[in-house]
């Protein structure tokens, strides 16, 4: 890779991997500049990795690459795959784009909290910088009504302080006050912190820019220092069900 583009904080996390490469590093709120520069690099014939924390496709930069390419009429190709409905030939003026999936914060956070996401869930960002607050309210209400587990991204920032309490109020209209909530900050980083609370206490939690929240469904339960959402296996198959004979289909694979 000739060039690495990313939010300054993420570039700092991988310093030892990027020595000697051209770096395009910009701060928060400079996403459009950063992605435009990365696209420009790639169009100039140099390879460029645009990095995100977690997974690049979940509340992250992959979408913005497409937004910008579409706006500027830059053709985008999937390397190594023939296009649908066309041949495998491609024009020389276009962007070869590969999206490399990662472990999203919702999966890393869930693993730390227990297993909140083993059943249907909704991911909702409380940031109303790019989304109308009324849309966010509707999503919170509908997700609460339909008993989805919820993963809440961007619950609070220095400037966005009232949204979380409003979200709590909307969810409480449809969900038990004692619903388990996990507050996960800095998942899998050195500042990692996991705190459990309940829905009616959520406004008291310590929440920062790297926090995501897991709000249980009506089925979710706390157990020991964890919180999980049963899928219903033990109800269906019987909790005391044991195989009459432990079946080890394959033991000791050594040849």
Q: What is the footprint of its own copies within residues 184-213 (CB under 8 A)?
A: 188, 194-196
Instruction: Count CB atoms within 10 A of the CB of residue 206.
Output: 10
Overall size of the chain counted in residues: 255
When binding is defined by CB under 8 A, the residue of 10, 77, 133, 200 that contacts its own copies is 77
CB of 94 closer than 8 Å to CB of 77: yes
**Using CB under 8 A, which of the segments 155-163, 165-173, 202-210, 238-246 binds its own copies?**
238-246
Question: What distance lies between CA 226 and its chain's CA centroid?
Answer: 20
When binding is defined by CB under 8 A, the residue of 19, 45, 89, 158 that contacts its own copies is 19
Nearer to its own copies, 2 or 165 (CB): 2
Nearer to its own copies, 71 or 159 (CB): 71
- 158 forms part of the interface with its own copies (CB under 8 A): no
How far apart are alpha carbons 57 and 250 in whole angstroms? Answer: 38
Q: Which of residues 218-237 bind its own copies (CB under 8 A)?
A: 221, 223-226, 228-237
Q: Find the helix or strand (DSSP H, E) in which 121 lies.
A: strand 121-125
Phi, psi of 220 (to 5 degrees): -70, 145
When binding is defined by CB under 8 A, the residue of 38, 58, 205, 207 that contacts its own copies is 58
Q: Which of residues 96-125 bind its own copies (CB under 8 A)?
A: 99-104, 107-108, 110-112, 114-125
How far apart are alpha carbons 49 and 149 in whole angstroms? Answer: 33
């Amino acid at each position: 890779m000739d060039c690495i583009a990313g939010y300054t904080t993420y570039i700092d996390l991988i310093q030892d991997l990027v020595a000697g490469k051209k770096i395009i590093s910009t701060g928060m709120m400079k996403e459009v500049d950063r992605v435009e520069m990365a696209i420009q690099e790639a169009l100039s014939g140099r390879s460029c990795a645009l990095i995100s924390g977690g997974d690049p496709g979940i509340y992250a930069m992959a979408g913005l690459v497409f937004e910008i390419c579409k706006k500027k009429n830059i053709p985008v190709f999937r390397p190594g795959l023939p296009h649908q409905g066309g041949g495998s030939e491609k024009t020389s003026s276009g962007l070869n784009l590969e999206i490399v999936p990662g472990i999203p914060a919702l999966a890393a956070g869930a693993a730390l909290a227990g297993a909140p996401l083993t059943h249907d869930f909704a991911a909702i960002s409380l940031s109303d910088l790019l989304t109308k607050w009324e849309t966010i309210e509707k999503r919170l209400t509908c997700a609460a009504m339909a008993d989805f587990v919820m993963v809440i991204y961007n619950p609070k920032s220095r400037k966005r302080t009232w949204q979380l309490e409003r979200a709590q109020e909307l969810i409480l209209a449809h969900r038990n006050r004692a619903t388990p909530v996990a507050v996960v900050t800095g998942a899998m980083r050195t500042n990692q912190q996991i705190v459990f609370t309940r829905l009616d206490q959520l406004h008291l939690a310590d929440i920062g820019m790297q926090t995501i929240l897991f709000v249980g469904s009506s089925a979710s339960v706390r157990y020991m220092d964890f919180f999980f959402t049963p899928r219903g296996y033990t109800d269906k198959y019987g909790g005391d069900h044991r195989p009459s004979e432990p079946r080890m289909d394959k033991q000791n694979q050594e040849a």
